[in-house]
Amino acid sequence: MTVTTDVLVLGGGMAGVAAAQTLGEAGVRTTLVDRADYHQFQPLLYQVATSQLPAEDVARPLRTIFESVPSVDVVVQAVSSASLADRTLVLADGRSLSAAHVVVAAGARPNFFGVPGAVEHAFPLYSVADAERLRGHHRALVDDAGAHGVGGPGSRDVVVVGGGPTGVEVSGALAELVAALVAHGRMPADARVHLVDRGHAVLGQFSPRAQAYAHEHLAAVGVDLRLGAGVASVHADAVELDDGTRLPTRTVIWAGGESGAAVAQSAGPTTGRGGRLDVRADLGVEGFPGVWAVGDVANVPSGTHAGAPILPQLGSVAQQSGRWAAQNILRSAQGDDLAPFHYKDKGIMAMIGRNAAVAELGAHRHEVDGPLAFAAWLGVHAMLLSGVHSRTDAFLSWAWEYFDRDHAATVEAHDSPRRIAWGDDAHDVPHIDLGAPTSE
């Protein structure tokens, strides 16, 4: 059976939700399809992985988000294939959906770059389910350390692969958690967090000053930085680096890169850099009328000139491009000219842990660190969350409390993560399936 609608949105992440909200508010009949029944907020996944936040606080049911937008219909099904030439999505339950316009907002998946053993043994951190699996695994190691004392060498160590913002954030948070647990006698004193990156500095896209700040903070909280070395292979009990070092570990976190969602690879268009869909400046896919690609699945150009650099895979890019593609669909429905995407650049930022953050603000990259950078991080992320939650004040108070948290509070949160006081209804619960790790 084929069901026809005006617009199909594939993916309920930041890009897909922004697109569907804009279309729905204009009264356009829109169907949003996602394999999960919730929207997930990736910037806080590492808080879930380190037991500082419960998973349901970063996963908001899609039906709740669109409760007050009657022209948006949410379909919870995996899309098993897409044929963008005829704007059709085939769902896992066998149904087909077609529309006059399709917005592809399917995000990205981890890229293991063919490193042997990485798919089998490393923990990706791309979805709420990934974060929950990692939390459960680390929690078991901690409980085991408490119950049975020290295991084999390195058995409580964590190796984080990738020194970009995700790798830095998760390393900083884990090192603080481990230090707090050690201080409370819950982990052996030799438990370490190692951060491995092929480059010679962490936070490659930031300024040398921000890189130095992050490096110093990570070293101060006990992270062992292994720079200039790549991962050669991952095993159940160790990681081997290409300089011959073997790091014993049972926990490898993969923050080493991503590529466009699997569903985009066989949808019709030839994919470009990073396995992502190339788009024109107006966010349409060339040669596929009525098809738009936004957010992490797309190579979104930063300008209209040929060879304009591609914007980074960031929440603000996803949210703004989703909204913009929807506005272009509305323009085309009214017979107006399409407008080239104009990105309002908020800058780049990373939280490195309690009391430490770096930010380069706006298009001119004004550099700040410490509490000011944290405040900037909060402002930008509250804006990203405002698309799916009305209580951003609750997020702000939780975050300031986290920023100031001491060892005792960190351990307490690990045992019983403090909720953000969203004020959600009891029925407002996401269904988080811990099935297979994110590979699509």
Output phi, psi for 168, to 5 deg.
-65, -45
Q: Which is nearer to ligand FAD, 45 or 247 (CB)?
A: 45
Q: Order the strands of the 231-234 sheet from edge to edge.
A: 231-234, 238-241, 246-248
| CB within 8 Å of 33: residues ≥ 6 apart | 8, 9, 10, 11, 12, 75, 76, 77, 79, 89, 91, 97
SS3 content of the chain, % helix, strand, coil (to 5): 35, 25, 40
Q: What are phi and psi of 63, to 5 degrees?
A: -65, -35
Given 28, 97, 103, 106, the residue binding ligand FAD (CB under 6 A): 106
- Tokens at 81, concatenated: 């294939």
Looking at residues 122 to 141 of the shown chain, list those that interact with ligand FAD (rule: CB under 6 A): 125-126
Q: Which of 58, 79, 160, 357 binds ligand FAD (CB under 6 A)?
A: 79
Phi, psi of 382 (to 5 degrees): -65, -40
Burial of 436 (0-12, 13-18, 19+ CB in 10 A): exposed
Q: Closest CB to ligand FAD among 164 and 290? A: 164
Q: Contact with ligand FAD (CB under 6 A): which of 7, 20, 35, 72?
A: 35
Site for ligand FAD in 138-197 (CB under 6 A): 166
Q: Pick one of 5, 23, 37, 43: the residue that binds ligand FAD (CB under 6 A).
A: 43
Stretch that binds ligand FAD, among 204-212, 267-275, 314-322, 328-336 (CB under 6 A): 314-322
- 260 part of the interface to ligand FAD, by CB under 6 A: no
| Integer Cα distance of 73 and 227 in angstroms | 48
Nearer to ligand FAD, 145 or 203 (CB): 203
By CB under 6 A, what part of segment 363-402 binds ligand FAD? none
Residue 141 or 349 having the CB closest to ligand FAD: 349
CB-side neighbour CA atoms (13 Å) of 198: 8
Residue with smaller CB distance to ligand FAD, 123 or 145: 123
Member of 318, 326, 361, 413 binding ligand FAD (CB under 6 A): 318
3-state secondary structure of 137: helix
Q: How many chain residues interact with ligand FAD (CB under 6 A)?
A: 32
Site residues for ligand FAD per CB under 6 A:
11-16, 33-36, 42-43, 45, 78-79, 105-107, 125-126, 166, 261, 263, 295-297, 313-316, 318, 440
